Amino acid sequence: MAGRVVIFGLDGATYSVLDDLARRGVMPNFARFVSEGARGLLNSTIPPLTPPAWTTLVTGRSPGAHGIFNFLQFESEDSPYLRIISSREIRCETIWSMVSRAGRRAGSFNFVAHSPAPKINGYVIPGWVPYRWVRAHSHPQGIIDRLKNEIGSFDLQTMAMNFQEEEKAVAGTQLHDYEPWIDLHIRREQQWFNCMKHLLVNDPCDLTGIVFDGVDKLQHLVWQFLDPAYEPANPSQDFLRTRERCWDYFRKIDGFLGETVQIVGDDGLVLIASDHGFTGTSEIVYMNTWLEQQGYLTWKGDAAVEHQDSQELGAAHPYHLTHLDMSRTRAYATSASSNGIHIPVKGIRGEHGIDPSDYEVFRDELRYALLNRCVDPATGEQLVTKVWTREEAFAGEMINFAPDFTVALRDHGFFSVLRSDTVLKPRSVVMGCHHPQGIILARGADVRRGAQIDPVSLLDVAPTILYALGLPIPRELEGRVLSELFTRSYVREAAPKLNGHTDHPVVNVENTEPFIDAEGEAQVLMRLRALGYIE
């Protein structure tokens, strides 16, 4: 495959929505893409969550290796304090860096945990960054000013993350708020696409990746308008109007896809991928309240019921953690999105917790309780359908940052970590939540036309991209080349080359001499040698 590769990332995209929109004529370019390319299901990470999943896609490594489990992470192995993840927390090399090391160029747009931007051969405009920081956290220096000068409609404030608005995606909103919310995402995606398109045309890279995260944000809120399973027999005018606006968002994305395919041309490869799928959730499980009822967790006396998390003075520590009586708590959940449960162990993150020698027995007891006593009070049905220990889900060097348990709920929803007066509540409307299977589709000269492949893993994407670029695949990558996406003649002629190793994450080596230890220095020397700067 001689041409360029573009990762067209659709955060949370799922076939149940996209195929329906293709059938209705809302997404004609997607329909054409399907008929001209290959497609399959893409198994996500445990849990199916944006930070670990996209990081797995761009590193080819599992969370236990790359170290990204959630939006919030303990500050160190022994710290009880949580921080919002940044690019420093990714402990494995990204595909952008691998491509750079091979002497090729890469461009990355709107990926999570890419801020401050790693210094690669190409450009990185990170996602999930407040607008005042996008310029400072992008690479190379001056890229934002360049885009501002060269794209007439460039608007950094629209493009960057608006965190106050984002809270609505999780917290839910009123019906009349849906349309401004959808419009905001249409405008934002247009900004991101303008940037990618401008550079694809005027300063192309061998590998370009973009994530449109509005797909996820919309689906959380407006699932009832998107999943055909929830379409009412006699829809109201309000329903039809809001659904039409949702479809406008997807029309926009479809237009971007059509333009991208045209720019890349027939000799390149366009890969559509989502980090996870989506489905509907109609209930809320209050995990910390269940832990309290079972005697595993104690709130401080003043902890309010259903109080929202606070971020006073910029602290990322969720409200509910500061309101736990840790001296009487043996298990707790830190954040809604990870579905993770932590067991405090004495001496590891402070003086409180269970005795280290009791850990295995206590963990077995809690696992049994989660699977057998966390039930729907009305029916007795299990609310927790699966429990993974950290060894099962997150084996690797970064395991000590991972929660002790990760659970799956019966409707794939996220549990709530807030204090409640009951363990289970119905939602007033169906909301969208993450499903463990996302999508992967490929189109290009050497891609099989109309092929349906068996489900594959996010781990397989990075090696497949390197293969398509004709680059060697480092031995540490955990997945495989998805040769079933490509024609037999192409695979016969171009065998995958497993060769070499990943590098440590690219760090800014300028001005760091006083702060690197001997091991770090050796790594820098290795890197400089690999780049040919020293012998």
Partner 1 sequence: MLPIDRNSVRSELLKVITTLRDDWDYSGEITEQTGIFQDLGFESIDAVALGSAIEDHYNRSLPFAEFLMKANERNAKDVTIGELVTFVVDHLSRTGKKP
What residue ranges bind partner 1 (CB under 8 A)?
A: 75-76, 79, 81-84, 86-88, 115-116, 129-137, 156-157, 163, 311-317, 322, 507-509, 511-517, 520
CB of 351 to partner 1, least distance (A): 16
Determine the length of the chain. Answer: 535
CB of 88 to partner 1, least distance (A): 6
C-alpha–C-alpha distance, residues 121 and 205, integer Å: 9
C-alpha–C-alpha distance, residues 406 and 451, integer Å: 35
CB of 86 to partner 1, least distance (A): 4
Residue 319 Cα to chain centre, angstroms: 24
Looking up tokens 């495959």, which residue turns up? 1
Tally Cβ neighbours within 10 Å of residue 183.
13
**How is residue 457 written in tokens?**
């893993």
Strand partners, 408: 386
C-beta separation of 169 from 140 below 8 A: no
C-alpha–C-alpha distance, residues 459 and 447, integer Å: 20
Nearer to partner 1, 77 or 266 (CB): 77
DSSP code at position 299: B
CB of 133 to partner 1, least distance (A): 4
Q: Which residues, in sequence order, are CB contacts of 438 under 8 Å at separation 6+?
A: 12, 13, 14, 41, 42, 43, 44, 48, 53, 273, 274, 275, 276, 277, 458
φ, ψ (nearest 5 deg) of residue 30 = -65, -40
CB of 477 to partner 1, least distance (A): 25
Nearer to partner 1, 308 or 512 (CB): 512
Q: 328 in helix, strand or coil?
A: helix
Closest CA relative to residue 434, chosen from 414, 450, 454: 414
CA distances from 433 to 77, 107, 282, 286, 387 (A): 30, 30, 10, 16, 18
Nearer to partner 1, 515 or 533 (CB): 515
CB of 163 to partner 1, least distance (A): 5
Nearer to partner 1, 115 or 457 (CB): 115
Bridge-based pairing of strands 405-409 and 340-342 is antiparallel
Nearer to partner 1, 201 or 526 (CB): 526
Bridge-based pairing of strands 332-333 and 456-457 is unpaired
C-beta separation of 6 from 209 below 8 A: yes
Nearer to partner 1, 137 or 245 (CB): 137
Helices (H), 412-451: none
Nearer to partner 1, 232 or 514 (CB): 514
Tally Cβ neighbours within 10 Å of residue 249.
22
CB of 38 to partner 1, least distance (A): 39
Nearer to partner 1, 312 or 351 (CB): 312
CB of 316 to partner 1, least distance (A): 6
Nearer to partner 1, 79 or 389 (CB): 79
φ, ψ (nearest 5 deg) of residue 246 = -60, -45
Nearer to partner 1, 175 or 522 (CB): 522
Nearer to partner 1, 115 or 219 (CB): 115
Bridge-based pairing of strands 277-285 and 340-342 is unpaired
CA distances from 162 to 292, 355, 356, 426 (A): 34, 43, 42, 29
CB of 481 to partner 1, least distance (A): 34
CB of 389 to partner 1, least distance (A): 26
Closest CA relative to residue 57, chosen from 86, 95, 89: 95
CB of 160 to partner 1, least distance (A): 9
Amino acid making up residue 325? D
